[in-house]
Structure 1
Amino acid sequence: MTPGRARRVARSARLQRVRDVLRAYLGLTKTRIIEQLLVVTVPAMVLAERGIPSIWLIVATLIGGAMAAAGAHALNCVVDADIDAVMKRTARRPLVKGQVPQRHALVFGLALAAVSSIWLGLTTNWLAAVLSLAAIAFYVLVYTLLLKRRTAQNIVWGGAAGCMPVVIGWAAVTGTVEWPALAMFAVIFFWTPPHFWALAMRYRDDYAAAGIPMLPVIAAPAQVSRRIVIYSWVMVVSTLLLLPVTSWIYTAVAVTGGAYFLLQAHRLDAAVRAGREVAPMRVFHLSNLYLCVLFAAIAVDAAIGLPVLGWPL
C-alpha cells in the first residue's frame, strides 16, 4: 500500500470513529421521542399567540426544548443502563453496548440540561426556562429514580414530564401559564397511559424480566385493557376543554379522531375479554398519529384565526 493510500485509509478510519461516537451520543437522546415532544410544542405556541409567533421564538423554543429532552433522556439512560441490558427492546442502546462510558453520558446529560435552561432563559423568558428545568428534574428524579421500579402507577404520574412541552411553549410566547395550556397538558397526561400500556402489553415479558412493574406485568390483561378504555375516554373528554378557544376545525378533528380512538380502545378490550389474539401495537401506533393530528388541528385552527366557539382568550 502506498503512503498516500495509507493516509487516506487512516483518515477514513478516523472519520468513521468520529461518526460512530456522534451516533452513539445521539442514541442517548432518544430522538424519536424528542420529535413527538416538539410536535406538540409548536401548536401550543400558535394557540397562545392566536397566530404564528415570530420564527425566531419558535426556533429558539424548539432548540431549547430539544436540548432539555435530550439531556433528560441521556440521564435516563444512565440510571436505567442495568434494565436496558435485560430488555430486548433496549439492548442496543449505547450504554448497554459500551459505546459511551457512563461517566461521559452523565456529564453529557447534565450539560445539556444546564445549557437548555440557560438558552431558554436568554432567548425566550425565565419562566419557560424554570419549567423546562422542572420537567427534567421530574423525569429523572421522580419518574426514573422513584416511580419506574416501584409502582404500576409509574407511567401515570411520571408521564407528567412529557406534558410539559405545551406549557413551556405557551410560557415562551406569553410569559404566563393560562388555562388552555393546562387543558393541553391534561390531554397529553391522559393520553400517556393508553399509549404506554399498549406498548407494555406487547413487551410484557421484557418489562417482567427487568423487574419493572408496568401495569401489564402485574395485572390481568382484562384489567389493563379496561384501564386503557377508561383513560382513553378521559383523554377524549379532555380534548373538549379546548372548544371555547377553537373553531369548528379543531372540533371536527377532536370529535371524529376521539371517536375513532375510542373505537379501537374498545375493540382491544373486547378482544382481550373474548380471549382472542390482540394487537396492542395498533393502539400504540394509532395513539402517536392521533396526538399529532389533534395538535396539528390546534395549530391550523389558531393560525387561520376563525371565530372561536366560546369566548376569546
Structure 2
Amino acid sequence: MTDVSLNEGLPREAGFGDYVALLKPRVMSLVVFTALVGLLVAPVPVHPFIGFVAILSIAIGAGASGALNMWWDADIDSVMRRTARRPIPAGKVEPGEALGLGLGLSGFSVVLLWLATNWFAAALLAFTIFFYAVVYSMWLKRSTPQNIVIGGAAGAFPPMIGWAVATGGVSIESVLMFAVIFMWTPPHFWALALFMKSDYDDAGVPMLTVTHGRKATRAYILAYTVLLVPVAVGLAFTSVGGWVYGSVAVAANLWFLKGAFDIWRRDEAAAEADSYAVEKAVFKFSLLYLFVHFGALLIEAALRLGGVS
C-alpha cells in the first residue's frame, strides 16, 4: 500500500503505444492508402517487394511528420479538448523525445525510399515532410486562416509519391489525385471546426471560424465543395478512371454537395438546437469520401488488369 501511495499522481513511463500515438496512426492510414493507390494505378508495374518497401517508407515519413507536428504544437494541444490527451500534453512523452523520433524517422524514410526506388520519389517525400512540419505546423497554422487551405497540400502528396515510385515523375493523373485531396481538405476541417466550438479560440489558432465567423465558414465550405466536384469527377476521364469510378464519384459528390448546401443555409441557432447534427453528418461522410474515391480507382485498376475495362 505504501508503494502505491508513493506513485500516485506521478506520470507513468511512456509505453510503446504512446510512441505509436505520436505518429498519428489514423492519419497515417489515409496516407498509406492513397499512396498505395497512386502506386498501383500507375502504368508502370512495380515489384511487390519494392512496392512494400516504398509504402513502408511513406508510412514512416508520415509518422515522422506527425511526431514533429506534435512536438511543435504541444502548447496548443494542451489547451484544446480534442488534443489534450496526446502523449506530450498528457505528460507521457517528453518533447525532446518526440523531436528526436521525428527527425530520425524523417531521415530514415527518405533515404530508404531513395535506395529502394528513385531520387524523385524520395525528394517528394522529403518535401512533404518539410511542408507539413515547417510550412504548415510552424508557419501557416498560427499565422493565417488559410492554414488548412495551403497546408492541405501536405496530405495531398502521398498519391503523387506513390505514382512517382512507379514512374519516376508526375502526370495529369497524379496531379488530379493530389487535387482531389487538396480541395477536400478545407471543407472537411471547417465542418469539424464548426462543431468543435471554442477549441480553436482557446488555443489562439486563426481558424476560419475564429477570424471570419461561422456564417462565412459555412459559405466557404460550400464554395470549396463546388470547386471540388469537377476535380473529383474529372478524374474519371483520365487513364486511371472509368465507369466504376465515375459512378462512385458522381454519387459521392452529389451527397457531399448537398451536405455542404445544407450547412450553408443553416444558422447557428438551428445548429445549436440539434447539436450540430448536419455538420457532424457531413464531417463523418467526409471521413469516408477519400476512401470511397481511391477505393474506386483500385477497382478500376483491378478491372483493367483482368481485361474487363
TM-score normalised to structure 1 length: 0.88
Q: How many angstroms apart in 2 are the aligned matches of 1:272 and 1:44?
A: 40
Superposed CA offset, 1:250-305 (max 9, x none): 11111111111111111122223784443322111101111101100011112211
Where do 5+ consecutive residues of structure 1 fail to align? 1-16, 309-313
Find runs of 4+ consecutive structure 1 residues off by over 4 angstroms.
none
The 1:101–1:257 alpha-carbon spacing in structure 2 relative to 1, beyond 3 Å, is same
Where do 5+ consecutive residues of structure 2 fail to align? 1-11
Q: Which residue of 2 aligns with 1:39?
A: 33
The 1:213–1:204 alpha-carbon spacing in structure 2 relative to 1, beyond 3 Å, is farther
Q: Which residue of 2 aligns with 1:281?
A: 280
Mapped pair 1:217 → 2:226:
no
Displacement, 1:103?
Answer: 1.1
Superposed CA offset, 1:211-234 (max 9, x none): 001111122222111111111111
Q: Which residue of 1 aligns with 2:42?
A: 48
The 1:219–1:61 alpha-carbon spacing in structure 2 relative to 1, beyond 3 Å, is same
Q: How many residues align?
A: 290
TM-score normalised to structure 2 length: 0.89
Mapped pair 1:172 → 2:165:
yes
SS of the aligned residue for 1:89 comes to: coil
Superposed CA offset, 1:117-143 (max 9, x none): 011011121111110000010111110
CA contact (8 A) 2:186 2:221 kept: yes
Counterpart of 2:283, as a letter, is: F
Q: How many angstroms apart in 1 are the aligned matches of 2:301 and 2:81?
A: 42
Larger fraction in helix: 1
RMSD: 1.8
Displacement, 1:182?
Answer: 0.5
Q: Which residue of 1 aligns with 2:18?
A: 24
Q: How many angstroms apart in 1 are the aligned matches of 2:209 and 2:51?
A: 39
Matches within 5 A, 1:117-196: 117-196=110-189
Q: How many angstroms apart in 2 are the aligned matches of 1:28 and 1:197?
A: 24
Decide which of 265, 268, 280 is 1:270's aligned counterpart: 265
Q: How many angstroms apart in 2 are the aligned matches of 1:230 and 1:140?
A: 28
Decide which of 193, 206, 212 is 2:199's aligned counterpart: 206
Displacement, 1:307?
Answer: 7.7
* Higher deviation after alignment, 295-304 or 205-214: 295-304
CA contact (8 A) 2:163 2:170 kept: yes
CA contact (8 A) 1:46 1:303 kept: no
Displacement, 1:151?
Answer: 0.6
CA contact (8 A) 2:160 2:178 kept: yes
Q: How many angstroms apart in 2 are the aligned matches of 1:204 and 1:164?
A: 30
Q: Which residue of 1 aligns with 2:63?
A: 70
The 1:230–1:274 alpha-carbon spacing in structure 2 relative to 1, beyond 3 Å, is farther
Displacement, 1:112?
Answer: 0.5
CA contact (8 A) 1:225 1:272 kept: no
Counterpart of 1:224, as a letter, is: T
Q: Which residue of 2 aligns with 1:93?
A: 86
Superposed CA offset, 1:172-231 (max 9, x none): 011111111001111110000001111111213011000001111122222111111111
